[in-house]
Chains A and B, each alone.
Chain A
Amino acid sequence: MFTAAAIAILMSLALAVIRAIKGPTVFDRALAGNSVGTQAILLLAVLGFLTDRPEFLDIGLTYGLLNMIGTLAVLKFFRHGDLAYDMKEPD
Chain B
Amino acid sequence: MSMALEIATWVLMAAGSVFTIIGAVGLLRMPELYTRMHAASITDTLGAGFMLLGMMLAAGLSLVSLKLLFILGLLVFTGPVVTHALARAALHENIKPLLAEDRRGVSRTSAPQ
| Residues in chain A within 8 A of chain B (CB atoms) | 1-2, 4-5, 8-9, 11-13, 15-16, 18-19, 24-25, 27-28, 30-32, 34-35, 38-39, 41-42, 45-46, 49, 54, 57-58, 60-61, 64-65, 67-68, 71-72, 75, 78-79
Contact = CB atoms under 8 A, between A and B. Distances in A.
Contact of A28 (B10, B33, B70): B33
A57 B64 contact: yes
A44 to B, nearest CB: 9
Contacts, number: 135
Contact of A27 (B10, B67, B89): B89
Contact of B27 (A2, A19, A24, A72): A19
Report the interface size class on chain B: 35 or more
Contact of A5 (B17, B43, B81): B17
A67 B40 CA distance: 15
Contacts of B43: 12, 35, 38-39
Interface in B1-57: 9-10, 13-14, 16-18, 20-21, 23-25, 27-28, 33, 36-37, 40, 43-44, 47-48, 51-52, 54-55
Contact of B28 (A18, A42, A79): A18
Interface string B63-99: 1100110110011001101100110011011010000
A5 B48 contact: no
Q: Does more than half of chain A's interface fall in helix, strand or loop, or is it mixed?
A: helix
Given A61-B74, A64-B74, A31 B93 contact: no
A15 B71 contact: no
A34 B106 CA distance: 30
B92 A79 contact: yes
A74 to B, nearest CB: 9
B61 interface: no
